[in-house]
Amino acid sequence: MTITATITVDPAAVVAPIDRRIFGSFVEHLGRCVYDGIYEPGHPTANADGFRLDVVDLVKELGSSTIRYPGGNFVSGYRWEDGVGPRETRPVRRDLAWHSLESNQVGLDEFARWCKLTGSELMMAVNLGTRGIDAALDILEYANHPSGTALSDQRIANGSPEPHDIRMWCLGDEMDGPWQTGYMTAEDYGKLAARTAQAMKAADRTLELVVCGSSGSNMPTFGDWERTVLEHGYEHVDYISCHAYYQERKGDLGSFLASSHDMQYFIETVVATADHVKHKLHSDKTMKLSFDEWNIWYLDEHQASQEVNDDWVFAPRQLEDVYSVADAVVLGNLLITLLKNHDRVASASLAQLVNVIAPIMTEPGGDAWRQTTFFPFSVTSRLARGEVLRPRIDVPSYDTAVYGAAPLVDAVATVDRDAATGALFLVNRHLTEAIEVTVSVAGLGLTSITEAVTLHDDDNYAKNTMADQERVGLRDLDSVGIDGDTVTVTLPPVSWSAIALGT
Ligand code: AHR
């Protein structure tokens, strides 16, 4: 029997105007993300700074907006001063987070230049693991003060005459995690983060500060952590962070395809907790969420491996997940969930960007290529313009071991009323059956289809590899049609699709 779904897009059901920061990404000094990733001085495409321009082109195509830097766990032991000034005098340090050596050949000034090359916004994290207010104020002065102070003049002498003007700053990373260098109780972190935020805002009250939330919804302190931290710093910070990674476990693809249920639960819990604190403190401010680490990550397998070991080496191959079609479908669904919650999730960062759990892979001296997960991100970043609309979806559910009943189809819509364009993003979670979907877009004035693509393969586990870099790609969605203001489309099983609409 044919499975059908009906989707109604109500032009008035506006979630939020689209802020490009929802399409952010993340570059950490970890494995081969920076070294032999974005930076490889000997590569044929490298520029004067040593950055690979073939990677820059792929980052632009991916459509990353804000890029969080330099960690991650790495930042909790980082001395930012090591990464500025003449490269030949920069020290080699031990990175305890990933047990590797850090050459400091890339630091703040180089990375700010790389962000300009890619057209992205730099979002900086300060070290609240081994350091504190003093170091945070110093990097802020170095990065943002125009001139005439010790550290701003040092930046100018180092070849960056203009301030980097970094707007978003993370107050540490995952300080709730026992794996974090210098991790703390919520009480201790809440006090330190509040004081650091207050001091940073005394320097520049227009900064946007992100306080650490939980490292996952499975953390034992989840909920309490957010409440305690926000009770200390509510008036000084602008965002609370969320981090979530998903993977298929024990061959249970059905549950994996419904991973966005956990992301939705995570967001709702943090929103409820933040609003509780808001009302308790009689605040006028509504806290925004920065979902600044999210992705598919086969963490169980990495933890069981020997790739993070006792050796001290530069840029080891760590966390180099090779993603399947199913992984890409889940990633597309997570992005749909972020958009559906864009009224509160104002910023997000796909973790990470190159080689390390990344949509882009590179080989030293060789190629750069797109993983399967590249496609839903790049197409959504390109087509989602204007405002997010929350559709009503009527579709049967299926049973999952982890999340119970889950709808077979998920979707979100966007509309750019000025440009008279729109887009639909849809997933079919059924393992074997196509689903016939009817979408009403009445009232939007959009009556033609300008583009329709799908990510699907007969092999759910097909991947792009160095040897076969284009095994998986987008395909035309042949089954789509529009009659007046009704779109009809057949979604293949285990697929992510995008349909662009015009007049
Ligand atoms: O993205 C990889 C790691 O995941 C980050 O360093 C850390 O913040 C998180 O645990």
To the nearest whole percent, how much of the chain has pLDDT over 70?
100
Residue 197 has pLDDT above 90, yes or no: yes
Same structural domain, 482 and 419: yes
Same structural domain, 316 and 359: yes
- The average pLDDT across 197-208 equals 98
| pLDDT tens by residue, 94-112 | 999 999 999 999 999 999 9
Q: How many angstroms is it from 400 CA to the middle of ligand 1? A: 28
Same structural domain, 292 and 353: yes
Cβ atoms of 408 and 432 closer than 8 Å: no
Q: What is the band of 484 on the pLDDT scale with cuts at 50, 70, 90?
A: very high
Q: Which protein residue's CA is at the shortest distance from atom 8 of ligand 1?
A: 72
Q: Is ligand 1 within 6 A of the CB of residue 71? A: yes
Q: Is ligand 1 within 6 A of the CB of residue 351? A: yes
116 vs 302 pLDDT, higher one? 116
DSSP state of 20: G
Count how many domains the chain has: 2
Q: Residue 471 is part of a domain; what is its CATH number?
A: 2.60.40.1180
Q: How many angstroms is it from 73 CA to the middle of ligand 1? A: 6
Q: Residue 166 is part of a domain; what is its CATH number?
A: 3.20.20.80
Q: How many angstroms is it from 174 CA to the middle of ligand 1? A: 8
Average pLDDT, the chain: 97
Q: What is the band of 163 on the pLDDT scale with cuts at 50, 70, 90?
A: very high
Integer CA distances (angstroms), 20 to 30, 378, 399, 407, in order: 26, 13, 35, 28
| pLDDT tens by residue, 442-471 | 999 999 999 999 999 999 999 999 999 999
Same structural domain, 204 and 74: yes
Pocket test for ligand 1, best of 25, 28, 29, 247 (most atoms within 8 A of CB): 28
| pLDDT tens by residue, 356-398 | 999 999 999 999 999 999 999 999 999 999 999 999 999 999 9
Cβ atoms of 163 and 145 closer than 8 Å: yes
Q: Which protein residue's CA is at the shortest distance from atom 9 of ligand 1?
A: 72
| pLDDT tens by residue, 274-300 | 999 999 999 999 999 999 999 999 999
Same structural domain, 371 and 254: yes
Closest CA to 363 of 27, 44, 24, 25: 44
End-to-end distance of the chain based on CA atoms, in angstroms?
35
According to the model, what pLDDT value does residue 187 have?
98
Same structural domain, 314 and 423: no
Element (H, E) at 69: strand 66-69
Q: What is the band of 192 on the pLDDT scale with cuts at 50, 70, 90?
A: very high
Same structural domain, 393 and 286: no
Q: Is ligand 1 within 6 A of the CB of residue 352? A: yes
Q: Is ligand 1 within 6 A of the CB of residue 173? A: yes
According to the model, what pLDDT value does residue 436 have?
98
- Note down the domain range covering 451: 3-10+388-502
Q: Residues near 52 by Cβ (< 8 Å), separated by ≥ 6?
A: 38, 39, 40, 43, 45, 46, 362, 368
Q: How many angstroms is it from 84 CA to the middle of ligand 1? A: 24
Q: Is ligand 1 within 6 A of the CB of residue 28? A: yes
Pocket test for ligand 1, best of 30, 67, 174, 298 (most atoms within 8 A of CB): 174
Same structural domain, 269 and 128: yes
Same structural domain, 396 and 375: no
Same structural domain, 377 and 486: no
Q: Which residues are catalytic?
A: 174, 293
DSSP string, 104-146: --S-HHHHHHHHHHHT-EEEEEE--SS--HHHHHHHHHHHH--
| pLDDT tens by residue, 110-151 | 999 999 999 999 999 999 999 999 999 999 999 999 999 999
Q: Is ligand 1 within 6 A of the CB of residue 176? A: no
Among residues 383, 418, 451, the one where a domain terminates is 383
Distance CA(429)–CA(397), nearest Å, equals: 10
Residue 257 has pLDDT above 90, yes or no: yes
Among residues 350, 383, 416, the one where a domain terminates is 383
Among residues 337, 352, 383, the one where a domain terminates is 383
Find tokens 């092999």 and name the residue.
459
Q: Which protein residue's CA is at the shortest distance from atom 4 of ligand 1?
A: 72
Q: What is the band of 1 on the pLDDT scale with cuts at 50, 70, 90?
A: confident
Distance CA(6)–CA(435), nearest Å, equals: 10
- The average pLDDT across 60-84 equals 98
Residue 157 has pLDDT above 90, yes or no: yes
Same structural domain, 374 and 405: no
Ligand 1 nearest atom to the CA of residue 293, by list position: 1
Pocket test for ligand 1, best of 32, 176, 293 (most atoms within 8 A of CB): 293
Same structural domain, 346 and 423: no
Q: Residues near 116 by Cβ (< 8 Å), separated by ≥ 6?
A: none
According to the model, what pLDDT value does residue 237 have?
98
Cβ atoms of 248 and 258 closer than 8 Å: no
